[in-house]
Chains A and B, each alone.
Chain A
Amino acid sequence: MQFPTIAEFLPKAFLFDGTPFAFNRIQLVRFVMIAFVTVFFCTVASKSLKRAKAGNVVPTKPQLVVEMLFDFVRNFTFDSLGEKTGKKWLPLVTTIFCSVFFLNLSGIVPGLNIAGTSGMGIPFLFAVWVFTSYWREGISSHGGGIKGFFIFMKDELFPSGLPIFVYPVYAVVEFLQVILIRPASLAIRLFSNMMAGHMLLGICFAATQGFLIGAPGISRLMMPAGVITLAGSFIFILFELLVAALQAYIYSFLTVSYLETSMAHEPEND
């Protein structure tokens, strides 16, 4: 019986070892999932286009699933960003939602067994993308250029209506938020969630094997406990499914809300 350790997330590279392109198990899983997503969406899109050209507008089942997914993302994006800005950032939010969801899902796909997002790489990459996006949105919606940058910073750090002695503290905290805490918390949240899920599943499986089949140091009287851990592993697989969807939702929803806070607000809306 072997319990999972931190080494699970730093597997040995099996291709191009020692170069910057070192290729390990988690990266292979990422490639498989991304290939699946790309092929799936492309086939669904081309098929539905072909059907639409032939005059058949009744959607097929896979098309319905994809449309529901896109509609869900579009709804919460438009709800907080509005139609115009929402349309501008919809590709970003949809891409993040779909890729994070499918990469999370690979944690419970038999044979892959590790979430593509349980390394720091992918969450970090998306966090950098979100970071640049809300800075761009903030600067361009406040007028653009250097002037836009200063107005954006003034709006973020020194909003009107606060007591004067709060400003020094507020500005520092808010500056840290904009520059570090927002993207870092996005990345750490996703990464550690998927890591915790993988560890939980690993511990359930290892304990089941130890209790039911036997391992040195474990008495045969412990067999009933194995039944509980076996049931636990089924339950936690379902739980991981929930977490995969929830984390994808939270990641993209927070992206939207960061974009929304850096947007220039009309005076009459406040």
Chain B
Amino acid sequence: MLASEITGNITTLCYGLGAIGPGIGLGILIGKTIEGVSRQPEIAGKLQALMFLGVAFIELFGLLGFVLVFIK
């Protein structure tokens, strides 16, 4: 199959690429939170709330890509 014969919507591919960034971000964020909790278990609740706040911001970038897939 020739590359020129491939048809379809390029946005699905772009969504895959766009998911890389938030993936790395979530990994760093959650890993650091676990690190923090294991150092200071007494502030686990506070760290968790902060983590969810950060997750919400990072997740948005992935979801924006998801929405853009449907816009043609």
- A residues apposed to B, CB below 8 Å: 6, 76, 185, 188-189, 191-193, 195-196, 246, 249-250, 253-254, 257
Contacts and interface: CB of A to CB of B under 8 A. Distances in A.
Contact of A189 (B52, B63, B70): B63
7 contacts: A188-B60, A191-B67, A192-B66, A196-B63, A246-B52, A250-B55, A253-B56
Contacts of A246: 52
Given A250-B56, A253-B52, A188 B67 contact: yes
Given A189-B59, A246-B52, A249-B52, 15 more contacts: A76-B49, A189-B56, A191-B67, A192-B63, A192-B66, A192-B67, A193-B59, A193-B63, A195-B67, A196-B66, A250-B52, A250-B55, A253-B49, A253-B52, A253-B56
Interface in B25-72: 49, 52-53, 55-57, 59-60, 63-64, 66-67, 70
Nearest to B59: A189
A86 B2 CA distance: 63
Contacts of B60: 185, 188-189
A249 B59 CA distance: 14
Contacts of A185: 57, 60
Using C-beta atoms within 8 Å of the partner chain, give the interface range for chain B: 10 to 19
A260 to B, nearest CB: 11
B32 to A, nearest CB: 19
Nearest to A249: B52
Interface of B: 49, 52-53, 55-57, 59-60, 63-64, 66-67, 70
Q: Classify the secondary structure of B's interface with A.
A: helix
Contacts of B52: 246, 249-250, 253
Contacts of B57: 185
Nearest to B67: A192
| Chain A to chain B: the 9 pairs with minimum beta-carbon distance, closest first | A192-B63, A250-B56, A192-B67, A6-B70, A185-B60, A189-B60, A192-B66, A196-B66, A189-B63
Nearest to B63: A192
Contacts of B63: 188-189, 192-193, 196
Given A185-B60, A188-B63, A253 B53 contact: yes
A254 B56 contact: yes
Given A188-B64, A193-B63, A257 B70 contact: no
A192 to B, nearest CB: 4
Contacts of B49: 76, 253
Nearest to B55: A250
Nearest to A190: B63
A257 B52 CA distance: 12
A185 B60 CA distance: 7
